[in-house]
Amino acid sequence: MKTILVTGGAGFIGSHLCDYLLAEGHKVICMDNLSTGFKFHIKHLLNKKRFRFIKHDVVKPFSIKGNIDQIYHLASRASPVDYQKFPVETALSNSIGTNNLAKLALKKNATLLFTSTSESYGEPKEHPQKETYWGNVNPIGIRSCYDESKRFGEALLMAYHRSKKADIKIVRIFNTYGPRLRPSDGRVISNFITQALSNKPITIYGDGKQTRSFCYVGDLVAGLVTMMNSRFIGPKNLGNPDELTILELAKKVLQFTGSKSKLIFQKLPLDDPTKRQPDISKARDLLLWEPKVKLDEGLKLTIDWFRMLPMIK
Ligand code: UDP
């Protein structure tokens, strides 16, 4: 049994990770400032002996008593709408927050896994994106609070690793979806499903020809744990290479919800990448990990979950 700290543990991916680690028999300390996370996601865990919740912002100093074996740092706003509303907080959770966790990892002799992002490739000139691609990022653009701070987080941890032998892992997470996505987070899958279920127009930004590749949250969590327990530092891409256009996604959501919503076309947000698809050869060959859940299956599970939410009905 390991003691594992999950920052952002009440968030979308973090709460699924807490579930997974507890089911594996570990002790889990979940830290979250509840800015975009919800206590609702972890309420079934609060009375468990091996689970502890600490409401805290990773940017502010903190100490934790006792031993910690592993740290997963997921605390950061991740939806473009969210992080553009709180750009400073986002930039700091990936920089100062990562620094606080690197210091904690050194002190506790723990392994620290940092969740970086496909956004570190920016508007990619290489497709699909391999880990060796350095990216094409606008350093002062409206997404830079997120993509540049994730890139800085990677750089900072490599510096800790090289100069202080910190035990670190870096993964780059591509678009992820599933139950516990926040309905109002502004991301494409949450928007399309909430719009379809309430028969409101589906908002396509731009012409809808831009592509994304969506990974089901259960697959992603398995990838995080596999990476943490591997001998690799990374970075490793984690995502599902099954790529489709946003227009194709909208049609699937309409089909699976049986909605009568119309498609409407709105302005494409600034610096919105035109394409994104992970090359996961490294994860496949070295971690022996690959996603299993097909988009159709995962979308249906996600739609079922959204249907249960009282706020949408
Ligand atoms: N998008 C859209 N309609 C929406 C929300 C998003 O067409 O209501 C598009 C967005 O412009 C982008 C893609 O869907 O091209 C994915 O957006 P999201 O915010 O989910 O994440 P991103 O991959 O851009 O970080």
Task: Say if residues 215 and 238 touch (Cβ distance below 8 Å).
Answer: yes
Measured in Å, residue 101 CA sits from the centre of ligand 1 at 30
146 is annotated as an active-site residue: yes
The pTM of this model reads: 0.97
Tens digits of pLDDT across the chain (313 residues):
999 999 999 999 999 999 999 999 999 999 999 999 999 999 999 999 999 999 999 999 999 999 999 999 999 999 999 999 999 999 999 999 999 999 999 999 999 999 999 999 999 999 999 999 999 999 999 999 999 999 999 999 999 999 999 999 999 999 999 999 999 999 999 999 999 999 999 999 999 999 999 999 999 999 999 999 999 999 999 999 999 999 999 999 999 999 999 999 999 999 999 999 999 999 999 999 999 999 999 999 999 999 998 764 4
Same domain assignment for residues 30 and 119: yes
Domain assignment present for residue 182? The answer is: no
Is residue 125 located within the same domain as residue 91? yes
Domain assignment present for residue 183? The answer is no
Same domain, 48 and 65: yes
Among candidate residues 120, 147, 293, 297, the one with its CA nearest the CA of residue 218: 293
Residues 146, 160, 177, 216: which is the catalytic one?
A: 146
- Looking at the structure, tell me whether residues 301 and 166 fall in a common domain: no
Q: Which of 210, 212, 263 gets mutated to test ligand 1 (max ligand atoms within 8 A of its CB)?
A: 212
User: Which atom of ligand 1 has the smallest separation from the CA of 192?
Assistant: 8
pLDDT, one tens digit per residue, over 17-30 is: 999 999 999 999 99
Note whether 170 and 301 are same-domain residues: no
How many separate domains does the chain show? 2
**Claim to verify: residue 121 and residue 148 sit in the same structural domain:** yes
**Are residues 233 and 113 located together in one domain of the fold?**
yes
Residue 263: strand pairing partners:
202
For 50-64, give one letter per residue: b (16+ CB within 10 A) or e: ebbbeebbbbeeeeb
Q: Which domain holds residue 157?
A: 3-177+215-238
Coil, strand, or helix at residue 82? helix
Same domain, 229 and 302: no
Which pLDDT score is estimated for 313? 45
* Same domain for 261 and 232: no
